[in-house]
Amino acid sequence: MLNSVMPIEVIEWGHFAAVMALLLAAVQSLTAAWGGWYQQVVWVDVSRRAVWAVWLLLSVAMASLVVAFLQHDFSVRYVAEHSSRALPLFYLATALWGGHEGSLLLWAWLLALFAALAVWRHGSLRSPTLPLPSLAALLAILGAVVVGFLLLILFLSSPFQRLWPPPTDGRDLNPLLQDPGMVFHPPFLYLGYVGFAVPYALAMATLLTGRLYDDWVVTCRRWILFAWAMLTTGIVFGAYWAYYELGWGGYWAWDPVENASFMPWLTSTALLHSMMVQQRRHIFRTWNLFLIITTFALALLGTFLVRSGVLSSVHAFATDPGRGVYLLVFMAVVLLGSFGILTLRSDRLQATVRLPSMVCRESTFLFNNLFFVAAAATVLLGTLYPLAIETLSDSKVSVGAPYFNKVFVPIMLAVLLLMGLGPSIPWRHASLAQLRRYFLIPALVAIGVVPLIWWGLAIHNGYGVIAAAIVLFVVMSHGGDIMRAYWRSTDRQFMRLVLRNKRRYGGLLTHFGLLILVSGLVGSGLFKQERDLVMRPGDTTHIGAWQLTFEAIGQRSQHNWQADEGRFSAQRSGGGASVTLQPQKRIYQRSPQPTTEAAIYSSWREDLYLVLGDPAGDDGAWTIRIYLNPLVVWIWWGAGVMILGVGLSLLDQPRQRLVEN
Amino acid sequence: MTPAARNRLLVLATVLVVGGALLALVLTSFTDNLVYFQTPTEILASAQRFDGRKVRIGGMVRNGSLVRTAATTEMRFVVTDDRANITVYHRGLPPSLFREGQGVIVEGVWRAGAAEFIADTILAKHSEDYVPVEMSEQGIAKSRESLLKTLR
């Protein structure tokens, strides 16, 4: 056999470790189930220790693959397919998640890590927050999910497969992935996806053991916040990467794979809000369980859509029906199992309190949830419908971006409006006097600016004006809320006020971040300019306030690519910025396909975005595409502020027990 | 009717009205924005049916068919599935992956009987596991085959 002549490399140790991890994860799951069912602490204790062993073994497996990449061990098929000798060290170490086999291993490793962290945080055998049966159920469920992923990795999509004889050089990492944005996009996305596994398992543990229907939201609060922050970061990194690397001037295309990451974001955002209501008012119990199950299932669906290859886009690298079927069955088990149990237990979940009135904070959260879930359903329909049509009939359809924009924009505007009301409106019942005090001035100002923008600034764009008015309304109502709290406080120390209530002000800061982000979306979505043209060296053109001159075209090369590079000088009128832009058209040595490197000048006002096309004639003329995208950087900065807000919120110490009403 | 019951009814009614409005919004914009994907053979076979509709046509850019009009961004090329051909006109920059012999998807409004298909968007499809330079000859032939299959 070939194996007899193959030297035993580090990778084999990793492979062996992964197999052992599979066995131990099965042990973890089964001992926990046994110990939980028969109330035997010793078995649960075995399971607790197995969790750590699984994580250590998977770490060995990950490390062996990294070593294989660093050593250019092309006898490992995955290494040969995703790196080359010329690949820079930075990308070599991160090529691990450049393809699906490695990314799935990263998924499993993160899951094992989070299981271990969950045991460390909540897993003491006499924990006040997590009684033995719940802990056992948590361990059993997380173990089962790890087993599910490791089966897939070892039998259908192994990164440990060997090639013999090894090729002399690898195929290199897809050039599009050789970008810092791509290095960070997948790990953050996966931290988000996998982060929902622990809250999911805790929620299921709640259902299985049939107790503490309100406690899981308290225990899970930080897990969910953390996962949500990671998912947000991952999505924004993906958008950022698309904007800088793909060279089509946009950051979001409603591509099925983008949608796949967006759906769990929408449902988890709904959950973040509605779990507050459950904690305070003990309602929305079944609903929150539904949301966490849905979120985790959508996270699995995201992995499934990207990694099974059923979708063809930049993200999907290969088609393998076996893998797709496995993931589909896996999802079916999770969905049917979870919702089955939820249905069986729903009689016990009856809330003791009813929605008290129509105008109160509870109802703003109810509608917030309605809109978020409707948005998720909208995206799901647009994403899965083409797949369904393709499976059921022979024709192939796609759902255009106009569908998503048309449905999504009004929903999001409604959500923004609710966002202005939610944090200030009182629980249980709001009186007319309170409403007038909190919202009259913001509403009047917001309505007042509409004609100002329409006629004053001559911006005749319905959605743009409405969005601006709503953003202003939210800023004013949030600002008013903070001002009132400040004047009410005895010490009049703003920082102390914030630190006294980190959860609340973290939340408000996240809202402000979202407003900045939305401003960026509105600006770049509605007011962008785009021009395709042919230019010769020496030619000058105008776009917006910019004057652009094509100076020269030349060549440039680096270790693994060479490029045509244009030099343009751009001058903003009225004594504004004066910059040089150098867009490239690159050919990587080991890839036949050229890539464009857009040249971008960013400022708070707008991005000037330049793409080099193809030669157009013999006289040095080139086709050029110019975009002028207003307010794009607001998107990145807004996302940053959102994450800061979550960070502030996370600093708050978890409350061990519920505040009884 | 007690105040609590009336209140519940009010909430329920609002949820239903808002939910219904959302559903209507989804359904009306959904059917308008479905884009049917066709090969040149298919679309020529039912040319009348798609008249005036937005379609995506997928195939290969036929070798030697690409003509750029000098000093403009206008271009013409033939999209083929080896049985039927469609001449495509496009104005603007194609994506960087676009070139002769590669898979392409062109999107635009189909006019039955028009001499050329005016594409407002071009999507180049790069063969999924892109081929290393060495194995180009047979590799490209094979990936072309699989590409045509996945394009279907």
Judged against a pLDDT cut of 90, whether residue B36 lies above it is answered with no
Half-sphere exposure of A48 (CA within 13 A, CB side): 22
Q: Which fold has domain B36-151?
A: OB fold (Dihydrolipoamide Acetyltransferase, E2P) (2.40.50)
- Tell me the C-alpha distance between A387 and A390, whole Å: 5
For residue A514, name the pLDDT band (cuts at 50, 70, 90): very high
Q: What proportion of chain A, given as a percentage, has pLDDT over 70?
A: 92
The answer to whether A281 touches A661, Cβ cutoff 8 Å, is yes
For residue B138, name the pLDDT band (cuts at 50, 70, 90): very low
Phi-psi label, residue B71: left if phi above 0, alpha if psi -120 to 50, beta otherwise: left
The answer to whether B30 touches A381, Cβ cutoff 8 Å, is yes
- Tell me the C-alpha distance between B107 and B86, whole Å: 13
Instruction: Average the pLDDT over each of A289-293, B118-122, B138-142 and give the range with the smallest value.
Output: B138-142
Q: Which of B29, B30, B133 sits opposite A592 (nearest CB)?
A: B133
> Once rounded to an integer, what is the mean pLDDT over residues A155-178?
83
Helix crossing, A100-122 with A197-209: angle to 10°?
50
Cis peptide before A321 (omega within 30 of 0): no
Judged against a pLDDT cut of 60, whether residue A581 lies above it is answered with yes
Nearest in space to A189 (alpha carbons), one of A157, A229, A131? A229
For residue A401, name the pLDDT band (cuts at 50, 70, 90): confident
> Going by DSSP bridges, is the β-strand pair B34-38/B54-61 parallel, antiparallel, or unpaired?
parallel
Task: List the single residue in A with minimal CA-CA distance to B128.
Answer: A317
The answer to whether A143 touches A115, Cβ cutoff 8 Å, is yes
Q: What is the number of H-type helices and E-type strands within chain A?
A: 19, 11
Q: What is the pLDDT of residue B143?
A: 45
Task: Report how far apart the first and last C-alpha atoms of chain B are (Å, whole number).
Answer: 60
Name which residue leads in pLDDT, A31 or A430: A31
B interface residues, A as partner, C-beta within 8 Å: 4, 7-8, 10-11, 14-15, 18-19, 22, 25-26, 29-30, 32-37, 54, 56, 68, 70-73, 91-97, 125-126, 128-133, 136, 150, 152
For residue A19, name the pLDDT band (cuts at 50, 70, 90): very high
Tokens of A207: 């259902």
The answer to whether A587 touches B130, Cβ cutoff 8 Å, is no
Judged against a pLDDT cut of 90, whether residue A516 lies above it is answered with yes
Alpha helices in A282-311 (DSSP H): 285-307
Helix (H, G, I), strand (E, B) or coil at A31: helix
Q: Which helix (H) or strand (E) holds A484?
A: helix A462-488
> Once rounded to an integer, what is the mean pLDDT over residues A543-557?
91
- Tell me the C-alpha distance between A281 and A361, whole Å: 11
Residue reference for tokens 């006097």? A433
The answer to whether A628 touches A606, Cβ cutoff 8 Å, is yes
CA distance, residue A646 to nearest chain B CA (Å): 30
Judged against a pLDDT cut of 70, whether residue A520 lies above it is answered with yes
Q: Which of B8, B37, B94 sits opposite A396 (nearest CB)?
A: B37
Highest-confidence range of A145-159, A442-456, B68-82, B95-109, by mean pLDDT? A145-159
Q: How many CB atoms lie within 10 A of CB A155?
A: 12
Helix crossing, A215-245 with A285-307: angle to 10°?
30
Q: What is the pLDDT of residue A353?
A: 63
Judged against a pLDDT cut of 60, whether residue A249 lies above it is answered with yes
The model's pLDDT over B99-137, given as tens digits with 9 standing for 90+, comes to 888 788 888 999 988 889 999 988 875 443 333 333 334
Listing DSSP states for A136-179 in one string gives: HHHHHHHHHHHHHHHHIIIIIS-TT-B-SSPPSS-----GGG-S
Instruction: Average the pLDDT over each of A89-98, A166-175, A230-239 and give the range with the smallest value.
Output: A166-175
- Tell me the C-alpha distance between A613 and B74, whole Å: 12
- Tell me the C-alpha distance between A488 and A46, whole Å: 54
Angle in degrees, CA A503, A644, A198, rounded to 5 = 65
- Tell me the C-alpha distance between A292 and A205, whole Å: 12
Judged against a pLDDT cut of 90, whether residue A519 lies above it is answered with yes
Angle in degrees, CA A167, A173, A178, rounded to 5 = 155
Decide if A395 and B36 are in contact by the 8 Å CB cutoff. yes
Q: What is the pLDDT of residue A154?
A: 94
Q: Which amino acid is at A259?
A: N
Q: What is the pLDDT of residue A606?
A: 93
The model's pLDDT over A472-488, given as tens digits with 9 standing for 90+, comes to 999 999 999 999 999 98
Task: List the single residue in A with minimal CA-CA distance to B123.
Answer: A313
Residues of A in contact with B150 (CB under 8 A): 312, 319
Domain definitions of chain B by residue range = 1-32, 36-151
Q: What is the pLDDT of residue A354?
A: 67
> Once rounded to an integer, what is the mean pLDDT over residues A356-375?
87
Q: pTM of the entire structure?
A: 0.90
For residue A335, name the pLDDT band (cuts at 50, 70, 90): very high
Average pLDDT, chain A: 87
> Once rounded to an integer, what is the mean pLDDT over residues A240-253?
85
ipTM above 0.90, yes or no: no
Q: What is the pLDDT of residue A185?
A: 87
> Once rounded to an integer, what is the mean pLDDT over residues B87-94?
90
Decide if B33 and A402 are in contact by the 8 Å CB cutoff. yes
Nearest in space to B31 (alpha carbons), one of A31, A402, A597? A402
How many residues are listed for chain B in this entry?
A: 152
Choose the mutation target among A317, A359, A614, A624 for the interface with B, i.e. most B CBs under 10 Å: A614
Half-sphere exposure of A237 (CA within 13 A, CB side): 22
Tokens of A58: 């998977």
Choose the mutation target among B10, B12, B26 for the interface with A, i.e. most A CBs under 10 Å: B26
Q: Which of B4, B129, B132 sits opposite A317 (nearest CB)?
A: B129
For residue A351, name the pLDDT band (cuts at 50, 70, 90): low
The answer to whether A333 touches A326, Cβ cutoff 8 Å, is no
